Amino acid sequence: MDLVIDNLPFLFKGAYYTLLITVVSMFFGLIIGLITAIARLKGNRFFRTIARVYVSIIRGTPPLVQLVIVYYGLVDYGIELGALTAAYIALSINIGAYVSEAFRGAIQAVPAGQTEAALATGMTEGQAIRRIVIPQAIRISIPPLGNTFVGMLKETSLVSVIAVTELLRSAQLLIAQYYVYMPFYLSIAVMYWILSTAFTFILNEIEKRLSVY
């Protein structure tokens, strides 16, 4: 354990990158997911088809494959991305597909009568969606989004294959230096657990506050 204690600053730096990738990817994933959900429910036939195909492809292929396509595959077409940028893009696109399904279910859970009432007061359909449907859908979608967010935190370990020094990669570098496995792997397991528990607690508190209103 002395080795772990001595190298905690390095592991904490890896944890920082894990959090950074998680938050940035989830932020853009929420935007992608919301747009995709609205396209599937309210868009014309063309946009509905595009949204369905996007969700089908992303949910039907491994996140690791998506990551290497973005980082290595795009090089064939002259697009060379930094490892961190590729991680943001690949994970945002991946999480957006799952978030869209959570939003889609939440939007459908909002009673249709509320939209009809909003239209009767003179709102346009866009205003009804923006002011009436989406705020309620966000509250309804908090529990599944919480699970998705925690899953995203753990999936950041995949970016170690493109040499992003997040938590798992940090442990691997220390193992290569000291030739000791268990202390470092156990340490990052505890760190992942602590981060996941913290996120779950925060999301539960957000859900409680939103339910009041």
Q: 3-class SS at 122? A: coil
Choose among 113, 126, 150, 165: nearest CA to 7. 165
pLDDT digit string, tens, across residues 30-48? 999 989 998 988 778 899 9
Question: Residue 211: its pLDDT value, please?
Answer: 65
What integer best gives the mean pLDDT of the chain?
87
pLDDT digit string, tens, across residues 55-90? 999 999 999 999 999 999 999 999 999 999 999 999
**Residue with more model confidence, 75 or 145:** 75
pLDDT digit string, tens, across residues 97-143? 999 988 888 888 877 777 777 777 778 777 777 777 777 777 777 77
Assign 3-state DSSP to the chain and report helix, strand, coil percentages, each to 5: 85, 0, 15
User: Average pLDDT in the 5-22 region?
Assistant: 91
Choose among 170, 164, 145: nearest CA to 70. 164
Count CB neighbours of 126 within 10 A. 10
Pick the CATH number of 2-212 from 1.10.3720.10, 3.30.1180.20, 3.40.1390.20, 3.10.450.50: 1.10.3720.10
**pTM of the predicted model, to two decimals?**
0.85
Residue 213 has pLDDT above 70, yes or no: no
